[in-house]
C-alpha cells in the first residue's frame, strides 16, 4: 500500500553495483530501510544523492508491515538545506550528529514528536549563522529526553556530582568512575535548561566543551545497547580545534 510520509536520511549502503539501501527515519513508520534499484546510475529515477545525511525528505513509499526492505515510489528533499552541505564546520557537526542518530534510532518505531524535534533542530542549525559552538551538546542532551534517559532537572538545588550510570544528580561521589564533577556538573545543568536559541549564553572553555562531549557520549554508551565508537568524532574534533 502507498503512504505519504516525511523522513530524515541517515545512511546509505551499497546493495549491488548500481543499487543502494537507504536508511531513513520516517515520521509515519520510524526507522526504515529502503531498497532503491539503479540509484547509482547517471539517469536514476531516484538518485543516491537524494539521501545525503540529515536531509529532510518528502516521500511516497510502499510499506509492508512485515518489515524487511521497503520500496520508494517518489522522494524529494524538502525543505532543502542551504548551509550544511557547503559549510565545512556545519558539515562536520552534521556528520557527527548523523552518526549518533543512526546508532540510537536503529530500532526506533514511529515517534512524531521525536521526528519533529530532529527536523526542527536540523533546520535551525542550517539557517543560524553564529553562536553554534554548543549546538551539538544541547542537541544530545535534549535528544536523550526522547530516548528515555534524560536526567531530571534540578532548578532549586545545586548538586556537585552527576552519576552517569544512574542518570541522577547527587551530593555524594558515586563509587565508580562514570561521574561528572564540578565545574562540569554546573555547566551540564545549564545545558539541560538551555534552548538552541540561547545556547551561546552557556559559557565554557574549549577544553571544558571537549570534556563534556566525552562525558555525554559516555552517558549515551551506558544507556544505549551496542552504541560502540563514534567514528566521526575525530574529524569533528580536528575541525574545531
Q: Is 201 exposed, middle or buried (0-12, 13-18, 19+ CB in 10 A)?
A: exposed
SS3 53: coil
Query: What's the confidence (pLDDT) of residue 156?
Result: 58
The whole-model pTM stands at: 0.94
DSSP bridge pairs for 13: 21
Q: SS3 of 27, please?
A: coil
Per-residue pLDDT of the chain (241 residues; tens, 9 = 90+): 899 999 999 999 999 999 999 999 999 999 999 999 999 999 999 999 999 999 999 999 999 988 899 999 999 999 999 999 999 999 999 999 999 999 999 999 999 999 999 999 999 999 999 999 999 999 999 999 999 998 766 555 778 999 999 999 999 999 999 999 999 999 999 999 999 999 999 999 999 999 999 999 999 999 999 999 999 999 888 887 6
Q: Is CATH 1.20.1600.10 correct for 2-77? A: no
Beta strands in 86-209 (DSSP E): 161-163, 168-170, 179-181
Homologous superfamily of the 88-239 domain (CATH):
Recombination protein O, C-terminal domain (1.20.1440.120)
Question: Structural domain boundaries of the chain?
Answer: 2-77, 88-239
Amino acid at each position: 500500500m502507498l503512504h505519504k510520509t516525511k523522513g530524515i536520511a541517515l545512511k546509505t549502503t551499497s546493495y549491488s553495483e548500481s543499487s543502494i539501501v537507504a536508511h531513513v527515519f520516517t515520521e509515519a513508520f520510524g526507522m526504515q530501510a529502503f531498497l532503491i534499484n539503479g540509484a547509482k546510475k547517471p539517469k536514476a529515477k531516484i538518485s543516491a544523492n537524494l539521501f545525503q545525511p540529515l536531509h529532510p525528505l518528502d516521500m511516497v513509499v510502499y510499506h509492508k508491515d512485515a518489515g524487511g526492505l521497503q520500496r520508494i515510489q517518489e522522494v524529494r528533499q524538502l525543505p532543502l538545506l542551504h548551509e550544511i552541505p557547503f559549510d565545512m564546520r556545519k558539515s562536520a557537526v552534521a556528520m557527527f550528529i548523523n552518526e549518533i542518530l543512526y546508532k540510537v534510532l536503529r530500532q526506533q518505531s514511529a515517534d512524531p514528536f521525536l521526528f519533529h524535534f530532529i527536523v526542527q533542530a536540523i533546520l535551525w542549525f542550517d539557517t543560524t549563522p553564529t553562536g553554534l559552538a554548543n549546538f551539538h551538546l544541547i542537541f544530545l542532551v535534549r535528544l536523550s529526553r526522547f530516548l528515555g534517559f534524560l536526567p531530571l532537572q534540578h532548578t532549586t538545588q545545586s548538586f556537585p556530582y552527576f552519576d552517569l550510570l544512574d542518570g541522577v544528580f547527587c551530593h555524594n561521589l558515586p563509587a565508580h568512575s562514570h561521574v561528572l564533577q564540578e565545574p562540569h556538573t554546573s555547566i551540564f545543568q545549564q545545558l539541560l535548561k538551555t534552548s538552541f536559541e540561547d545556547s551561546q549564553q552557556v559559557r565554557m572553555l574549549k577544553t571544558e566543551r571537549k570534556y563534556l562531549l566525552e562525558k555525554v557520549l559516555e552517558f549515551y554508551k551506558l544507556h544505549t545497547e551496542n552504541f560502540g565508537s563514534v567514528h566521526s568524532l575525530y574529524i569533528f574534533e580536528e575541525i574545531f580545534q
